[in-house]
Structure 1
Amino acid sequence: MAELRLEELSASTIVAVNALTLKPGQEQFVAPVSYSVAAAVINPATAWQRVVLDGDEVVGFISANFDPEAHQEEFRSALWRINVDADDQGRGVGRFAVDSLTDEARKRGFDHVNVIYEPGESGPEAFFLRVGFKPVGETDYSETIARIELP
């Protein structure tokens, strides 16, 4: 694995991001990347979207929101989406993306990052727990709200 790096989502990387594959069973837990792109168009001042590259190859995508004025606290500093290509899962790509996100949150003055996910087999919970998120609540739709505290 070459050195991982982040780049802003752009016209030159969006096709590769949309082509990222998932492992069987993961599709039900991840909305299409186009939803994240649409959110960035609607909220350009608060959206943070990056692709993860391994050399010149796009291997992941992460989308977050930083809005200190959001009405709901869990949306003020939130990880919206993380996708790592099926062939690249388990190689540290997701951890690199989350570490980059938490660095950005710190730079912006936040002391935590939230994520909301649907629990279930093949879902993202094990990954989120491994990288440091801890469940702190539940939405009205039985989704888990988890938080990673930033030192």
Structure 2
Amino acid sequence: MPETLSLRAVTRENYEAICDLPLPAEQQAMLASNSWSLVQAAYEPDYQPRAIYLGERPVGFIMWVPESETRVSIWRFMIGKDDQGRGLGSQALRLAMAEIAQQPGVREIEICYAPDNEGSRRLYARHGFVEQGLDPDGEDMLALLRL
């Protein structure tokens, strides 16, 4: 029986495992650390961090934040290096999109990524995100999904 992918709360029992998930060296500069993301979430009650589990094993992390009453932004999203290339990112993104879409009034999901991150660009485009151009700082590409 195949293991099921799920999104779970980050808790006292699993936060260290989430913080310890490694990225390939070439991706480390593209993402804020999971530790930093959890610090942010601890002080911002609207931030929504989730551990990504395959069966009973943590394999990734995702965090979204409300930008307005109608828009949610996915600020962090990663799959640990040992589990990349297996379609888990795509499955996890679908789970997150479904959970976000259940929030009353939300009509858009936004995500940003390094402009040279082709893997992210392809993943998000496959799920309906449309590039909007660089963010106001000119550093990250913004993509938007209308629900």
Per the normalisation by structure 2, the TM-score is: 0.86
Q: Which of the numbers 111, 118, 127 marks the counterpart of 2:107?
A: 111
| Larger deviation, residues 115-124 vs 83-92 | 115-124
1:80 corresponds to:
75
Q: Which of the numbers 134, 137, 148 marks the counterpart of 2:145?
A: 148
Structure 2 residue 121 is matched with structure 1 residue 125 = yes
Change (3 A) 1:31 1:123: farther
- Give 3-state SS (helix, strand or coil) of 1:78's partner: strand
Q: CA RMSD in A?
A: 1.9
Separation in 2, partners of 1:34, 1:22: 13
Structure 2 residue 61 is matched with structure 1 residue 90 = no
Separation in 2, partners of 1:130, 1:17: 26
1:7 corresponds to:
8
| Contact 2:5–2:92 (Cα < 8 Å) also in 1 | no
Separation in 2, partners of 1:86, 1:126: 18
Shift in Å, 1:131: 2.8
1:100 corresponds to:
95
Shift in Å, 1:122: 6.2
1:38 corresponds to:
39
Separation in 2, partners of 1:114, 1:134: 9
Hey, which bits of structure 1, 4+ residues long, moved more than 6 A? none
Change (3 A) 1:105 1:121: closer
- Identity, in percent, stands at 27
| Contact 1:52–1:93 (Cα < 8 Å) also in 2 | no
Change (3 A) 1:65 1:59: same
Separation in 1, partners of 2:134, 2:37: 22
Separation in 1, partners of 2:24, 2:67: 32
| Contact 1:40–1:47 (Cα < 8 Å) also in 2 | yes
* Structure 1 residues without counterparts, runs of 5 or longer: none
Shift in Å, 1:116: 1.7
Structure 2 residue 63 is matched with structure 1 residue 66 = no
Separation in 2, partners of 1:103, 1:121: 24
| Contact 1:113–1:149 (Cα < 8 Å) also in 2 | yes
